[in-house]
Structure 1
């Protein structure tokens, strides 16, 4: 990390800098500033637009439980330091209610007004008025192309069939929700009696997408989260059967990033999505 660049960006000297490792192409740091504040810093060696997209997403999600953006430029993203604590059932229930409230804020359209990223991959946020074909064209098709070297032709055709039948598979129409977009459990930080959302791929999307992501790798007290969400904002009938459809995008992203270890999960999600229509 360029310490001088950070100090210039914040206008405060850094008293203590601790490395936390790396994530994708970025280094992670805990910094104690001379004024006593503690901040979390992501640093990149190259300009890519990732931090601009993340900062835009966090600011756009400000009605929900997200940390403020302390500062950002094309190589640094600075957030408050959030000391972790064990998740409790009560905090999980609060999270469910707050996530429902955030989704209800809504969005002007599906997509967003800024270029997006998910991890280090570009995310096409071109706006659209209807979700099914937007999801097929902007969230499945690009990552199917990237994942194709790890899939055999029959498996690629299976995912293409999901895209072709998307209108039937999508369920009841819903207005655009204000969603995190990459809400796996690692992007939920439990701190200060709250669940904080970080590392967003924020956009106007389908609210079931965030819940499907939480289900993908498991989240603490998931039953409590869902129950309080449902109480605050009931989901449309059949939402559980549509979970694999919403998981297909992040699973294709994982194949594109990490290779064939996620191939089986993609195939099973596609089959399950198609079964749900039967």
Structure 2
């Protein structure tokens, strides 16, 4: 019998017990698993809780990191119908952390990313006092650049984890296992940029494994801050002014790079 990790919502933060909260997580895990990704196995899900197979932990190592990079590339390659598409068969509310995440679909990445992944979190960040008006203006300007498809490439919508910070990468004796996704159709570089933002161990090895499976579009290193606007905006909405400052800095860097 599988050992069980049971997760429930505690605290008063958003979404305050939304009935789709755990269903969205379960749908995301299953959708990524359908693409061959190593994810925590869903044992049961309800409006109040999700039960996952409990994982043993291990130290990160280079072989596991390279293998993770390869499987991450393959997961991305499984694709999604459009940018913003939710997991197949799920039509409820998506979340990133406890914040709502849009599932409005677009044909172009730039318009999707600016309108649905960055801009929705600016007003909450301003209202929380975590983002200055000056920094917000810089982010809006960067979003206009992105929405006009100035940074689009030929990559189709990838099947991404969507919240791939280090805490959602579990190192186990069998290799990396992913947890707690905000899965949707997005750009593969967004997952990689989030790994970089929050300091995933052995990221260089992960990138090597990734590139061996799916070479990234040249210049991807120069686009990291573009893809970090989303997680920084989400964190600025609820995790303090340091993230607002980092968001403004990243936006100005994007603008300077494409002046």
SS at match of 1:258: coil
Contact 2:168 2:180 survives alignment (8 Å): yes
Q: Does 1:67 align with 2:37?
A: no
**Structure 2: gaps (5+ residues):** 11-15
Question: TM-score, normalised on structure 1?
Answer: 0.84
Contact 1:168 1:277 survives alignment (8 Å): no
Higher relative contact order (CA 8 A, sep 6+): 2
Following TM superposition, by how much is the alpha carbon of 1:267 offset from its aligned partner in structure 2, in angstroms?
1.3
Give the equivalent residue in structure 1 for 2:163. 182
Give the equivalent residue in structure 2 for 1:247. 228
Contact 1:169 1:276 survives alignment (8 Å): no
CA distance in 1, matches of 2:131, 2:46: 38
Query: By percentage of residues, which structure has more strand?
Result: 1
**Structure 1: gaps (5+ residues):** 1-35
How do 1:81-96 and structure 2 match up within 5 A?
81-96=54-69
Give the equivalent residue in structure 2 for 1:10. none
Give the equivalent residue in structure 1 for 2:13. none
SS at match of 2:237: helix
Alignment partner of 2:17 out of 35, 42, 47 = 47
Alignment partner of 2:181 out of 200, 212, 218 = 200
SS at match of 1:74: coil
SS at match of 1:37: coil
Give the equivalent residue in structure 2 for 1:271. 252
Q: How many residues align?
A: 243
Following TM superposition, by how much is the alpha carbon of 1:190 offset from its aligned partner in structure 2, in angstroms?
0.6
Question: TM-score, normalised on structure 2?
Answer: 0.90
Contact 1:95 1:194 survives alignment (8 Å): yes
Identify if the C-alpha distance between structure 1 residues 173 and 274 changes in structure 2 by more than 3 Å, giving closer, same or farther: farther
Q: Which has the larger Rg?
A: 1
Contact 2:132 2:244 survives alignment (8 Å): no
Alignment partner of 1:136 out of 114, 126, 132 = 114
SS at match of 1:137: helix
